[in-house]
Chain A
Amino acid sequence: EDQVTQSPEALRLQEGESSSLNCSYTVSGLRGLFWYRQDPGKGPEFLFTLYSAGEEKEKERLKATLTKKESFLHITAPKPEDSATYLCAVQVYFNKFYFGSGTKLNVKP
């Protein structure tokens, strides 16, 4: 059964304290892996797409990496405005996407 699991469920960091979020997946065939940021009461905002093991993408304080079984979202020196829920999604064929439950990140000043 196709499955996406994110950990931890919630993460509290001090401003400047770097950490990583994990997205592990068990799917029949990976077409792409997506990271989104979601603020309360809003729709998910696209961050990154990764297509093959070893691929990395960066944007400001965020860096996403991909292996054959999992993806990490590394947050370097986070700021309070990075507080949000981060969602991971896996695409298994054209229109089939599976989402994880998300990691709620809270960055304290």
Chain B
Amino acid sequence: ETGVTQTPRHLVMGMTNKKSLKCEQHLGHNAMYWYKQSAKKPLELMFVYNFKEQTENNSVPSRFSPECPNSSHLFLHLHTLQPEDSALYLCASSQVGTGIGTDTQYFGPGTRLTVL
């Protein structure tokens, strides 16, 4: 596997279900991100992890719970979601540093989530 992978690619869940999204990066990066992409809206940054430590949480509802066990893996645990949470969830990674050429985010293919 190369780059950033995400599983599953598609997920349909009811409002009472609990599910998890998985992201893995094979780039040796030290930062990982979760974004939400809804139709005709800009990508919304949800969570950021640097060296496994959460550094950003952009007022995301508690029904979304991130987990980062190491610098290569990132999870998004979902429970009691609402229909408006249906969207494409994108994972990204980057190498946070001070030099030119760092910080570029590389994205996975996304998980298309539908909440019924």
Given contacts A4-B42, A94-B103, 18 further A-B contacts (CB under 8 A): A32-B104, A34-B104, A34-B105, A41-B112, A43-B4, A43-B92, A43-B107, A44-B43, A46-B104, A46-B107, A91-B103, A95-B48, A95-B96, A96-B56, A97-B33, A99-B42, A99-B43, A101-B42
Q: Find out whether the CB atom of A100 lies under 8 angstroms from the CB atom of B96.
A: no
- A95-B31, A98-B42 as given contacts; A42 in contact with B103, CB under 8 Å: no
Which residue of the partner chain A has the closest CB to B109?
A: A43
**Residues of chain B at the chain A interface (Cβ within 8 Å):** 4, 6, 31, 33, 40-43, 45, 48, 50, 55-56, 90, 92, 96, 100-101, 103-110, 112
Give the docked Cα–Cα distance between A90 and B90 (Å): 17
Q: Find out whether the CB atom of A51 lies under 8 angstroms from the CB atom of B110.
A: no
| A64 close to B (CB within 8 Å) | no
**Contact mask A69-103 → B, CB, 8 Å, 1/0?**
00000000000000000010101001111111110
Q: How far is the CB of B53 from chain A (nearest CB, A)?
A: 11
Q: Find out whether the CB atom of B101 lies under 8 angstroms from the CB atom of A49.
A: yes
- A41-B112, A95-B55, A96-B56 as given contacts; A101 in contact with B105, CB under 8 Å: no
Q: How far is the CB of A54 from chain B (nearest CB, A)?
A: 15
- A43-B108, A43-B110 as given contacts; A32 in contact with B43, CB under 8 Å: no
Give the docked Cα–Cα distance between A81 and B50 (Å): 36
Q: Find out whether the CB atom of A31 lies under 8 angstroms from the CB atom of B103.
A: yes
Please name the 4 residue pairs, one residue from A and one from B, whose CB atoms are nearest each other, closest first: A43-B107, A99-B43, A99-B42, A95-B48
Using Cβ atoms and an 8 Å threshold, which residues of chain A touch B41? 101
Partner of A95, one of B4, B50, B108, B110: B50
What are 30 A-B contacts with C-beta separation under 8 Å?
A: A4-B42, A31-B103, A34-B104, A34-B105, A36-B107, A41-B109, A41-B110, A41-B112, A42-B109, A42-B110, A43-B90, A43-B92, A43-B107, A43-B108, A43-B110, A44-B43, A46-B104, A46-B106, A46-B107, A49-B101, A49-B103, A94-B50, A94-B103, A95-B31, A95-B33, A96-B45, A97-B33, A97-B105, A100-B42, A102-B42
